Structure formats: C-alpha cells, structure tokens
Structure 1
C-alpha cells in the first residue's frame, strides 16, 4: 500500500529515503500493472491462448475454445498450437522473438484480428508466447478500414493521373497536312521510331515539335512506358541539375528528406523529351553528354552512378551551330544529339496545306468547347495563307479560337478573322463585307434556290451553304470522272480537305 506523506505526494519513510520509497512504489505498480493488463486484454478480447517455447498450448480461455469448437479448454492443453488453430503464427513469434501486431488470421470463413507477443523470463530468454483475438469480425474496424480504403483509392487515382500525364496524347495522325514537307516529317518520324538513337527536332516555335516527339514515342518499342517532357528554359539554372538527375536526401537545404527522383529516373524505360535544349547551361551539358553515352546518371550529392534506360529526343528553335561558334553549346553534345535531325516546316512553308490544318483546328475547338462546328470561306483561306504566322500553328489556333468566340457565323469570313487578327484585312486588301438584312438570311431568292427547293423556301445559312457546296463538289466529281483527287485539284483545295467535305456532305467518289 502507498502512504500519503501529507503533501499530496507518495512516500514511505524519511526525506532521506524518499528515492528508495518511490522505487519500491514503482516496482509494486509495475508488478500489479502486468497481470492487470493481461486480465484486461483477456476480458476484452474474443479469445486468448498461450504456448510454451515448443509452441504447445499451455492455456486457452473458454471463449476461444468455444470459438474453435472445443467444449472443454483442458482438451487443448499440451497439444501443438497448429492442431487446434491451423493458421496460427504463434510458433513464428516464439522462434523470432518478435511480436506480430494487428494481423488478420483466416479461420474458416472468418477473418480474425489478432495480436501475438513473445514471453520472456527474467534473463530475457524466450519461454513462450501469448496471443489475443481482438475482434472476431472486421466490423469494429470499419472506421480504420474505411480510412485505409480511402487513402488507397486516392493513391491509386493519383498514380493513374500521373501515368496518364506521362503517356503521349498525340499520334502521327495528329500532325495534319499532306504537303511534301509534312509528308517528309512523317516519313522521318517513322524511321526514327525504329531505333533508340537520339533525335534532334529543329523548327520555329509552334511547329509541333512535342507532337512529333510524342508520335515517335508512340510508334516505338517504348510505347506504354513513360513519356516525360521538360522545357529546359522554364527551369531556373540552380534547380536544373536536381530536376534532371535527382538528388539524395540532404543534398541541399530545403530538399525533402526522401530526396528527389529526377526526370531521367522518372522516364526510365521510356522517352525523355528536352525542349529548348539550346538554353541548357554549359555545366549541365557535360552531365547530359555522359548520361547519353553511358546511360547512367549521378544524383546531386551522391558519388554512386545510377543506371537508366532512356531514349532522349531534344528540340530547339535556335541555331545550335551558331551557339557552338559563340561558345554557348558543346560541339560534342550537338553531334551526340544530332544523330537523326528532323526539321519541321513553318506554317508559311506549307502553302495549301494550311487549309487542312485550319479545318482540323476548328474541329478540335468545337469538340473541346462545345461551340458549333465552323468552316472557312475561300477568301478567308486565302487571307490566312498570306499571313506570315510568326507563331505558327500555336498562333493560328489562337486566332481561330478567338474568331469562333467573336462571331456566330458558321463559315468564318475575312471580316471575322480581322476581328481576331487585325493585320489580315490590311494584308489582303479584302473589301468590307456588305451588310446583310435579316430577310436575306432567312429567304432564298428564286435565282439562288437550291436544286429541288421551291423558290422562297425559308432556310438558314448553314443549310444553304451545305447545299451549294454539295452541288459544287458533285459537279467537280462529275467533271473529273468521279476521282476525288482530280476533283480537289480542280477546286484548288487539298485532297484531305476535299475528303472531309465529302464525308460531311454524304458524297462518295467512284
């Protein structure tokens, strides 16, 4: 028993012996706590069993015996634990001396939540083990299991989103155009997909370099593996090395204690696309050259190289040979990257191929935004062809989307484009559009009625234009003997554009 010392504390003698009295009290409390804890666990659990050092049952409570189908607990004493509990891990606890906490044990069709602890003597020698069936069903753990399931679902969803982002969004069919320059790009891309050699994509900004890089990855043997793109110019020089090659924990202040993986490691087995490679600092170019030659990287803060299997596709819109002369780019890295160069033509070089690209962009805008599908008048196509397009396809997409937002016309005119790109009107000298009355929109004059339509039939603009275009394409097909390619030449449009119009209008070639 503990005695009060009159001060609210615990005491058992004089002030000089207070330390010894406290130790005696602590020992008594500990001695009582152990059996009390065991009794509490035994009372609260669904079953308790103890085994000796040979994993033979030395005690089992009545609840556990009944659960196991044993009428009298004494029948289990002296038997090996696996005889009465087939999936028991008690022998493993005795052998290893390590506890097994919150384990799931299958017993028939039941899943039991169990914990197992080794028992030792005063010298620390393992003399047996004790196990507790904490729950005879999982329903009591529903809150814990629900939280675990939620976290696992979030982890799986995050991993899925990351995997989706690392898969190519574009194929070679996404590179629209049938001009000789476009066909040459596609031919070289197919050749490049057959090997793992580095590729250097050359061209102005907005010409589709990343699109071609993704297409090559999708055609290669690495399809299905990660495609990781990084814009070299968008990353501060101080972070580039860690961003590319990773960093070990503690490599620099503020780094996560788990370290950093790096883009090369993320792309392992797949393709790493390095955009604007001409802006890479000289110091990092040497490490990139080594990674390309040796297929190994050295994370920041580590002296141990890490093997990687990465195919590198680089892209630039600058003259790398000029940068070599200026001392801003390593010649050895240039020759290593320039194994298979592919030059992408600018929009102004595509000539008649611009119309097919514009129509493809308009279809994409309609699908993405929910806006009505749009087309282009012949004058609008000519106006677009005369514009220099310094931003190439990226600029064209911007102009077309802006025009779609600023007008309700289903066929974009020069005036519609001029609202989105004022220079178009001045470049073409196109006359201003004549004002159109509401009556003229909804009523077709007898002289302009469509074949098979009575004069004065109310018709909206889209239907009227479709009828006119169907008649025009039909006459072109008739004049060219039913050959679509010849009919397209006759009308002065691309073959791809002609086929798209035929599909939309329900026409067929012979």
Structure 2
C-alpha cells in the first residue's frame, strides 16, 4: 500500500480497487490486533452514510480479491461469526522511505513515518489518518464542504459555471460527453461522474479520489494530459484553490462555507437571480437578500468598488414589489427611476429610497437626511457604502445607522468567488458570440488575476476581449493588453 498515492500494489503491480474498499483495508490493517464490528466499520469507514448489508458484503469481497484472498482461505481477512472482521496477515512496524518523484511536475506527498508490512506478497499499508487535516484539501465539517467547480469551459464559455458538492463522495470521474451532465451512484463507493463537451477531453480523462491525506487527482491516460496550475501531472494531491485543466475545461477545487444542506449540483443561474453564482455561500446570501427584499427592513449594502452594490440595490427594489424608486447621490442630486411611469408616481406610492455612496455625505447632508427619514417613516431605505462596519460605527450615530440599515450586507469581492467566473462570463458576454472561445493561457490568467476592480473589471475585460478578438479566440493580450 502506497498510502501517500492512495494506491495498492500486489507483487509489484498496481491493483484496481475502489476508494472505499481501500479505506476498509486500511482500517482493518491498522486495527489488526482485534475484531472490528460491522457497526464500527460503518461509523468509521462510511462515516454515517447509509450502506446496505449487500454493499458491505460486496466491499469485503472486493477487498479480499484485491489482497489475493478468498472467503474459503481467509488468510488475510477473517470473518469472525456474529462479531465482525479481523486482519490476520502477519504484520510488523517498519520505516517507509519516501519515493522519488516520477518527474518534477508531479509533487510527492509526505509519506507516513511508519507503515504495516504484511506477509510476503501483501503490500505495505500506511498508518491511517482519519481526519482530512487541511494542507489545502479542507475538512468536511458542518460549515466547510469540499466543492468542485466547473470554473470555465474554454471551448464553450456560454455553458456557464457549475458546482458539485463532494460531501459524502469518494471518487469523481471526469470525461468527455456531448453535453455537461453529472450522475451520482451509491454502493460501497459513492461515485460522482462528470461529463463535459470538449474536443481535447478524453472519454475517460481524469479521476479525483478522496484519500486519508486529502483529494488526489489522477490522469487516466488522457491524450492531451491533465494539468494542475498549468503543470502537467500524473498524480497530484490537491490544495485549496487548485485549478485542474482537463481538455481545456478548467475545474477549481476548494472548500466552501455552506449554512444549508448542499445539493449535488448547482449549474442553472436563474435569469432573475441577484447574483450570477454557483458558489454555495453566495447562494446563501442570495436567499437571505430575497427574504429581506420582501420586507420593509432598511438595508445597508457594503462592499469594495465594483462588487455590484447598485445592481443589488436595484434587485432589492424590484423584488420588493414597490412601485417607485428614488435615488439620492452623495451630492444630494435626486432622480426618479425613469423606467417607472405608473399612476402611483404622481402621488408617491410605495417607495424605495436608494442612497448611494453614503460615505460621501457631509454632516449637514446627514442631518437633513435624518429629518427627512423621520418625516417619511413608510419609505423603505436601501443605502450603499464603500465603508466597512467599523468605519461606519465611527462615522454615523447609532440611531441613524439603524434607520439606514437594520440589515447590513457585505458584498464579496470577486477574488473570494473565483469559482463563479464561468457563470459571470456567460452572463456578461453577448449571447450572439456563440463562436467565441478562450485560449488556455487567457483562461488561466482569468482565474489567477486578483481582480481589484471586481465584477465591474471582469465585465469590462471580457467585453474588450470579445471585441478585439472579433468574436473568435480570445487570447491573453485581448484580456490584458496593458503592459506588465
């Protein structure tokens, strides 16, 4: 057993074995001094996932086959009637040298200090690490879940983005398909299969496997190779934020916050959505804003320049059902929404008062604003500001802060939601540009750029690149023509 590479070898040859079966062998070998009950295996190897008796029996049968054992011989795995299973091969502790890397572009994971060496012919089995302590791969907890994003399809940007929760998943298979789709199959191993269109993607391109050390991406002998952060790899232990290129489809692995139970896939961005997003915690934020929008609660939107504060404010007004929108800029200019021409406009009607760039208002303007708000208690206030929470507390009195925004929402910068690039690109780019494609270097640059101007900068760069490329192949010089 090469635990660092999550690989089983029998007499020097690799043995094909499912991840959960490999976990089963590891756990039994580690606890070879005693009988391990069925319930313990379900709690520790399957971690509470519902598994039938038939699936457990199948996993044991596959483990015996991988270890060159059989139900009749039971020289490695012994069934103890009415009690459980025991690993009975002769074993001893031994130092395991770190293997030399196959090549410079294939990082070698840290080997455990000691391993179990079974009888001759049985591979050594490394010590089991039950927790997925983050060296980038993350820990599956109540609030942090590993996700795989389809961050960008170079050959078909209009496909948008997608996100798959890896909670409860043991292995992901990635390959070519006529359309993007995913299926999930259960049993001893929970398998997620992702198909995506692409001329350079192989039918079986790569797999990503959960191991005791994290998530391992393995190239499946694809014609055009698998790349991690631009480097071709055979196997690579993924870190948080790693970008995996399979046939010019860029997948991004990351752990994400999620308050609610994730669905297996999010890839459809509603035309009426506030955010073009498949990122789980952004979808949580969308849900909260939709609930707030339907109320009379005043809202204060905070965020860096370009994060979409005005866009979100307009969406809150639209979702509120109010008939009139009045904008107040920091210089006190007032304008009614030109698109609203209902009969209620003349007499006022249910009104949203949008105060933009609140941080620019002087003391005199704030005093006038306070008086105006006191005189119109039924007006729903939505305000925006570049200031953070601490600066707001110093700048505005507590009663005015409450009147301006009982609900304070901080909009995320683009650099914290890079997995949404595909969804954002599909929304920004002209739907007529069906032939537009991204050069792979340009696509990688999009994912690596820090985006100081946030979504506004992304929109400008994509539109510029589409224009400069005449709707054809968008290269890095089209996206970033300025000298570096």
Same fold, judged at TM 0.5 (above): no
- Of the two structures, which has the highest relative contact order with CA contacts closer than 8 Å and spacing of 6 or more? 2
TM-score range, shorter chain: 0.3 to 0.5
Give the TM-score normalised by the residue count of structure 1.
0.37
If each structure's helix is expressed as a fraction of its own residues, which one has the higher value? 1
Larger radius of gyration: 1
If each structure's strand is expressed as a fraction of its own residues, which one has the higher value? 2
